[in-house]
Structure 1
Amino acid sequence: MLFDPKFEQGTLIKRYKRFLADIQLPDGSQITIHCPNTGSMRHCLFPGEKVWYSTSDNPKRKYPNTWEQAHNDVGDIIGINTGRANELAAEGIAQGVISELSGYASLRREVKYGSENSRIDLLLEDEHRPNCYIEVKSCTLLEEGQGYFPDAVTTRGQKHLRELMEMVRLGHRAVLLFVVQHSGITSVTAARHIDPDYANLLQQAAQAGVEILAYRAQLSPNSAFLAKSCPVKL
């Protein structure tokens, strides 16, 4: 995807109240921007480092600017906006980048499903094969060279794994897709040290037939796209 206009640059001062961040602009002024990330953003917050933000023309928005990307202290680019992960996944499927998910007749988003009142991120449908339910997760936690998910305890993520296992039992195809929005991450594994219940469920899901995939995003202030797959360590 191309960003038009491209993102503008600032310097991170701090993130606070979960959904807000203060940044300094090149002219020395400061603004408050929306932070579209509900996670802990562990190892993604680097005051004094570069950030990039987009601007909305919606006059009803209290904070028209949205935090999109960040630099860490060694120069990696991190995708802060978790909503971009779904867009990248859908685009990657449409363009044939995610070869494991190619060839379906249609793609729908945010479809209700499951016994726990969930919405699947992406649903692939084709009359010649079982439906494919895809849950997308944005991976940005890097520790000692390893990418991890999640960055905080996620009961919602645990629910999604149970729902995917249910879809497999019903005869459908189910996929957990990690979209890696961190240029320093080359493989993904469950963050057992943060959420052991999620790690256990991920192993159960894989054993039950849920497919676990990971694809790295190529990020810049001008564009973002899925580039290639990377290993998932279970």
Structure 2
Amino acid sequence: MKILSFENLLDGVFIERRNRFLGIVQMGNRYVEVAVRDSGRLEELLFKGNKVKIIPSKKSGRKTEYDLLSAYSDAGFVLVNSSLHRDIFQRILDEGLLFSGDKVISKPEVKVRGSRLDFFVEVGDRKIWIETKGCTLARNRIALFPDAPTLRGKRHVEELIELKREGYESMIVFLVFRSDAEVFLPNFETDPEFSHAFISAIKEGIKVFCPVFGFKGDSLYYLRNIPMVRI
């Protein structure tokens, strides 16, 4: 199922990541600055000489003219732009891939306990808090999250646990952008604190949904859902 299509995609070669938000890409004889809209390390994707795709920014007056969209892996191009996660998840809801039957009402970026969770969703009488995370790392066909320590991610998981204890449904959705992934596993090696909090959330009854996406030409497609490894 097609999720998003992109116009004016440009091919480039990644040169370096100057900082968390800025990269340098070579386009022919030009070197351009690109906005990196993903806070992960992305070391397996953003290395010198790797193929990338960039898109012109839709905002005028910005320092960078382009956004980094995807980077090449042995499984094809991988989305590395977290600003698109909300639109991708909304498409999942709109297409009935997560909930079916009753009308789905979604509210993005809802404040709770001084922070924000990605979605509050109502499906009939059900009230569900949902946090989405983008997964760009896979090893041996195992999707892994996170690829860098994330205190913010751990806090979100703990907030979902508290909301579940208050009687709400809670869910974590890992948007997996590695098309070769067959199962999901929290990345204990990189972030044991997040991983243990995540396992605690599972024991509390928080649900997990792991849809996989991949590029075909200039479009991003939903491919399938994958299970979590039993721990």
For 1:21-36, what aligned pairs fall within 5 Å after superposition? 21-25=23-27, 27-36=28-37
Instruction: Name the one with the larger strand percent.
Output: 2
Identity %: 24
Name which of structure 1's ranges 54-63 and 165-174 shifts more when overlaid on structure 2. 54-63
Query: Which residue of the partner structure matches residue 121 of structure 2?
Result: 124
Question: What residue ranges of structure 1 are gaps of 5+ in the alignment?
Answer: none
C-alpha contact (below 8 Å) 1:161/1:201 kept by paired residues: yes
Q: Please say if 1:76 is aligned against 2:76.
A: yes
TM-score (norm 2): 0.91
C-alpha contact (below 8 Å) 2:77/2:214 kept by paired residues: no
Q: Post-superposition shift, 1:144?
A: 3.4
Query: Which residue of the partner structure matches residue 88 of structure 1?
Result: 88
Q: Please say if 1:168 is aligned against 2:164.
A: yes
C-alpha contact (below 8 Å) 2:53/2:71 kept by paired residues: yes
Q: Secondary structure at the match of 1:183?
A: coil
Query: Which residue of the partner structure matches residue 109 of structure 2?
Result: 110
**Separation in 2 of the partners of 1:169 and 1:104?**
25
**Which of 209, 213, 216 pairs up with 1:213?**
209
Give the AA of the match of 1:87. D
Per-residue CA deviations over 1:174-224 (Å, capped at 9, x if unaligned) read 100000012232221110011111111111101101101100012245222
Q: Please say if 1:7 is aligned against 2:22.
A: no
**Separation in 2 of the partners of 1:223 and 1:10?**
17
Give the AA of the match of 1:52. K
C-alpha contact (below 8 Å) 1:92/1:225 kept by paired residues: no
Q: Post-superposition shift, 1:83?
A: 2.2
Q: Please say if 1:180 is aligned against 2:182.
A: no
TM-score (norm 1): 0.90
Give the AA of the match of 2:135. C
Q: Post-superposition shift, 1:78?
A: 1.1
**Separation in 2 of the partners of 1:165 and 1:2?**
32
Q: 1:75 to 1:207 in 2, by over 3 A?
A: closer
Q: 1:75 to 1:4 in 2, by over 3 A?
A: closer
Q: Post-superposition shift, 1:75?
A: 5.0
Q: 1:221 to 1:9 in 2, by over 3 A?
A: farther
Per-residue CA deviations over 1:13-65 (Å, capped at 9, x if unaligned) read 1112111111111x321111111111111312232221111112422211020
Number of paired residues?
228
Q: Post-superposition shift, 1:129?
A: 1.5
Per-residue CA deviations over 1:86-142 (Å, capped at 9, x if unaligned) read 22111011111234x7634311100111x3x2211111124x413111100000112
Q: 1:75 to 1:227 in 2, by over 3 A?
A: closer
Query: Which residue of the partner structure matches residue 45 of structure 2?
Result: 44
C-alpha contact (below 8 Å) 1:8/1:221 kept by paired residues: no
Q: Please say if 1:65 is aligned against 2:61.
A: no
Structure 1 vs Structure 2 CA RMSD: 1.8
**Separation in 2 of the partners of 1:86 and 1:57?**
17
